């Protein structure tokens, strides 16, 4: 079969067996090819064309694609025992849980290992309710916590919520980075406040330095738990191991996923203190998962964390992120009619555009130039920059050349409107 035949067959299968609207959108964006192989910060399509990955699987590929230490760990485990019997002790899951207790903030100790970020959020919400015995959960507008029923109930965008209502009861949404709005709704019946330290899908919204500490104090005052959703921000993405570390805040429960699998395996986790784990200690089978904590995913996560530590990846993200941000801010100053604002921490960066519809144009331009980017789900005016944390400054410079050309084309387009 020729490469043209394989591309045609793949697109045809998307149209007939996955979703025709998705296939149409991909084609509209100029994505009429098939991804084929990847290494480091580079993805190649089936024809061998190279793309610099500036999206990183929405935060999955923090270590790049196919990091050799993660691949090696998974291959060894695959030959030994990929899945758990669920009856005998599982050493990779035990080792990973101990490692999570070591790297997470404060005295967070016990972990439940699942398969995804949304599962981690589901588990965290259940834990908050069973520990406190309270019904109410407060989330933020434009937040994103997943699309299963519990996680979707916390997610703060009506576009995703409305088609499935009524969702779970007891959920209230307030504006992000607005402590007064939180004060108006939090009370003694609040089980938890769930918040992303930096909103990802909401448009890479970075709060003021005093916001999370104030949320922490309010939770303490009312006996509510603070759940920090670090599915996207965690494990080095923002230039700290966890984004809450920027604000010196220790949550009661923290969720991780995406980068946890080292870009090789799907895995998620929620981690909490011994005190909060009390009901799960009393009744350990209240929350379970058939595939959660499987040895294959756990060894990938262990290897990923060790790579982050040994190769000083978090520190790289801080330095490269500052370098990238400086160049992007200069570009914004040169084209204020196209770029409204550049913001972020580490290598979690948002480029907010001035005009609706420009995001899709820029995506298409960048992809044609061999750079993979996307806009955020909750705010299509924001182009996200979330490359592998190992991306070199040389590759950043290449991205900036392509982005500058694309912004100039967008500038001309806007002038012609």
**Catalytic residue selected from 61, 112, 144, 270:** 144
12 is an active site residue: no
The verdict on residue 412 lying in a domain is yes
Q: Considering 136, 240, 258, 345, which one is annotated as catalytic?
A: 258
Q: Which CATH number do you get for residue 370?
A: 3.90.1150.10
* Structural domain count of the chain: 2
In a domain, 118, yes or no: yes
E-strand ranges in 8-156 read 35-39, 42-45, 50-53, 110-114, 136-140
277 and 233 part of one domain: yes
Based on the residue annotation, tell me whether 258 is a catalytic residue of this protein. Answer: yes
* Of the residues 286, 310, 334, the one at which a domain ends: 310
Residue in the block written with tokens 């991909």: 26
* Residues 228 and 114 both lie in one domain: yes
**Do 141 and 222 belong together in one domain?**
yes
- Residue 87 counted as domain residue: yes
Which residue, 60, 120, 113, is CA-closest to 295? 113
Return the structure tokens found at 192.
């938890």
DSSP 40: B
Catalytic one among 53, 229, 240, 270?
229
Residues 288 and 316 in one domain: no
Domain range holding 356? 33-66+312-416
Q: What is the pLDDT along the chain (417 residues), one digit of tens a residue?
A: 899 999 999 999 999 999 999 998 888 776 789 999 999 999 999 999 999 999 999 999 999 999 999 999 999 999 999 999 999 999 999 999 999 999 999 999 999 999 999 999 999 999 999 999 999 999 999 999 999 999 999 999 999 999 999 999 999 999 999 999 999 999 999 999 999 999 999 999 999 999 999 999 999 999 999 999 999 999 999 999 999 999 999 999 999 999 999 999 999 999 999 999 999 999 999 999 999 999 999 999 999 999 999 999 999 999 999 999 999 999 999 999 999 999 999 999 999 999 888 888 898 899 999 999 988 877 889 999 999 999 999 999 999 999 999 999 988 887 766
CB proximity list for 137: less than 8 A, separation 6 or greater: 125, 128, 129, 153, 154, 170, 171, 172, 190, 191, 192, 193, 194
Beta bridge partners of 345: 348
Asked if residue 4 is part of any domain, the answer here is: no
Helix intervals (H) in 311-392: 313-334, 358-368
Looking at 270, 285, 310, which one is the last position of a domain? 310
53 is catalytic: no
3-state SS class at 22: helix
Strand, helix or coil at 254?
A: strand
């Amino acid at each position: 079969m020729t490469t043209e035949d394989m591309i045609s067959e793949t697109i045809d299968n998307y149209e007939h067996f996955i979703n025709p609207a998705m296939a149409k959108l991909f084609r509209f964006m100029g994505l009429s090819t098939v991804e084929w192989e990847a290494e480091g910060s580079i993805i190649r399509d089936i024809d061998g064309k190279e793309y610099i990955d500036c999206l990183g699987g929405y935060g999955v590929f923090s270590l790049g694609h196919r990091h050799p230490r993660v691949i090696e760990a998974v291959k060894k485990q695959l030959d030994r025992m990929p899945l758990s019997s669920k009856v005998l002790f599982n050493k990779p899951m035990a080792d990973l849980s101990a490692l999570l207790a070591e790297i997470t903030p404060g005295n967070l100790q016990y972990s439940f290992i699942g398969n995804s970020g949304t599962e981690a959020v589901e588990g965290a919400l259940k834990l908050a309710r069973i520990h406190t015995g309270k019904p109410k959960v407060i989330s933020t507008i434009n937040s994103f916590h997943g699309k299963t029923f519990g996680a979707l109930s916390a997610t703060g965008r009506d576009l995703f919520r409305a088609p499935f209502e009524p969702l779970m009861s007891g959920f209230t949404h307030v504006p992000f980075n607005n402590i007064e709005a939180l004060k108006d709704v939090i009370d003694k019946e609040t089980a938890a406040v769930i918040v992303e330290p930096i909103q990802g899908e909401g448009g890479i919204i970075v709060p003021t330095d005093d916001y999370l500490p104030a949320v922490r104090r309010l939770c303490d005052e009312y006996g509510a738990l603070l759940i920090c959703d670090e599915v996207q921000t965690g494990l080095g993405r923002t230039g700290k191991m966890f984004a809450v570390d920027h604000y010196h805040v220790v949550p009661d429960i923290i969720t991780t996923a995406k980068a946890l699998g080292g870009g090789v395996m799907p895995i998620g986790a929620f981690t909490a203190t011994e005190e909060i784990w009390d009901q799960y200690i009393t009744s350990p089978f209240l929350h379970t998962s058939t595939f959660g904590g499987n040895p294959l995913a756990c060894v990938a996560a262990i290897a990923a964390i060790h790579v982050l530590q040994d190769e000083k990846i978090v520190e790289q993200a801080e330095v490269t992120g500052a370098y990238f941000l400086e160049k992007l801010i200069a570009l914004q100053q040169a084209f204020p009619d196209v770029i409204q604002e550049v913001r972020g921490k580490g290598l979690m960066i948002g480029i907010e555009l001035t005009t609706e519809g420009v995001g899709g144009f820029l995506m298409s331009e960048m992809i044609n130039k061999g750079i993979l980017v996307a806009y955020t789900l909750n705010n299509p005016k924001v182009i996200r920059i979330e490359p592998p944390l190992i991306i070199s400054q040389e590759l950043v410079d290449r991205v900036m050349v392509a982005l500058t050309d694309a912004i100039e084309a967008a500038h001309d387009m806007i002038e012609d409107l």
